[in-house]
Each structure stands twice: as structure tokens, then as C-alpha cells.
């Protein structure tokens, strides 16, 4: 039986990208990407709902894109959903679901479109390599 885990989002960054390093030295960047849906309700009043997506980039891609991924920039992201878990400082099991990016296109900027494909991402990060409060 076949299955597919594919996510495509196009939205705006809510904050500058954050670049960090695992204890083993792997670079990882996290992005907060907003997608907004608008519609008119039954009375004709315009409604709006924003969803926030956590996007993760690894390795050289993370390092290269961090300088361009600034608050307000528009991004196109392709990737897959990944759910991870860890124990916080109090021993409580915590979970996060994020988009592990495979392809990123910067759509806004000074007349440029920058495409990056994720090729150097580690297959998985061991849970003991993660901080207690922040999953990177």
C-alpha cells in the first residue's frame, strides 16, 4: 500500500529565521510561516483566519537561507510533516509537528527569486540531542 507525506505552503514569515546548532554541530533553522485564509460569512462580512506553521531547514540550506529569511518575506515551501517528541525539564512529554522543508523559494525581495533544495539534511535527530524546552 502506498502513502504520501507532502506539504506545500505559501505564506509570510512572522519572524526572522532562527539558526541553531545541535550538540553534534549540525545546523538547523526554524521558520514561523503564516498562511491566511479569507472568506465572506453568511452576512457578507469578510472573515480571516491565520494558521502558523513551524518549518525546519537543515545543514548548508539552513545556513544559506537564514540571512534572507526575514520577517514579512513571502516563501513557498515544499516538504513533509514530521512529529517529534522529547521530555522537558520537568519530565513532561512534549510534542511538536513541523514541516521538514525539502524545497524553499523566496518570493519577495529585491527583484529576486531564490530557490533552494534541501539535500544535506540528516535523516533524523536523536531525541537526546534536543534541548529540554526548545526542540532544537
- Ordered DSSP codes for 27-94: EEEEEEEEEEEEEE-TTS-EEEEEEEEEEEEEHHHHHHHHTT--TT-EEEEEEEEEEEEEE-TTS-EE
Bridge partners (DSSP) of residue 87 are 93
Domain boundaries, the chain: 7-38+46-122
106: cell is: 523566496
Mean pLDDT of 66-78: 94
Q: How far is CA 58 from CA 2, 41, 65, 94, 105, in A?
A: 27, 41, 10, 22, 15
pLDDT, greater one: 19 or 136 = 19
29: cell is: 533553522
pLDDT in tens, 77-133: 999 999 999 999 999 999 999 999 999 999 975 545 555 555 545 544 444 444 444
Phi and psi, residue 63, nearest 5°: -65, -40
Q: How far is CA 69 from CA 6, 73, 75, 88, 112, in A?
A: 22, 7, 8, 29, 13
Please give the pLDDT value at position 136: 43
pLDDT in tens, 23-56: 999 999 999 999 999 999 999 999 999 999 999 9
Q: How far is CA 101 from CA 24, 44, 85, 124, 132, in A?
A: 21, 37, 18, 13, 23
Please give the pLDDT value at position 8: 98
- Class assignment of domain 7-38+46-122? mainly beta
Please give the pLDDT value at position 116: 56
Please give the pLDDT value at position 108: 74
Could you tell me if 103 and 48 are in contact, meaning their C-beta atoms sit under 8 angstroms apart? no
Amino acid at each position: 500500500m502506498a502513502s504520501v507525506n507532502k506539504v506545500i505552503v505559501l505564506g509570510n514569515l512572522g519572524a526572522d529565521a532562527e539558526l541553531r546548532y545541535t550538540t553534534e554541530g549540525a545546523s538547523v533553522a526554524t521558520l514561523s510561516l503564516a498562511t491566511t485564509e479569507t472568506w465572506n460569512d453568511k452576512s457578507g462580512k469578510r472573515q480571516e483566519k491565520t494558521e502558523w506553521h513551524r518549518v525546519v531547514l537543515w545543514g548548508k540550506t539552513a545556513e544559506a537561507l537564514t540571512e534572507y529569511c526575514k520577517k514579512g518575506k513571502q516563501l513557498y515551501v515544499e516538504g513533509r510533516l514530521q512529529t517529534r517528541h522529547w521530555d522537558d525539564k520537568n519530565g513532561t512529554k512534549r510534542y511538536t509537528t513541523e514541516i521538514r522543508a525539502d524545497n524553499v523559494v523566496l518570493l519577495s525581495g529585491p527583484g529576486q527569486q531564490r530557490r533552494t533544495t534541501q539535500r544535506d539534511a540528516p535523516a533524523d535527530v536523536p531525541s537526546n540531542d534536543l534541548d529540554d524546552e526548545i526542540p532544537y
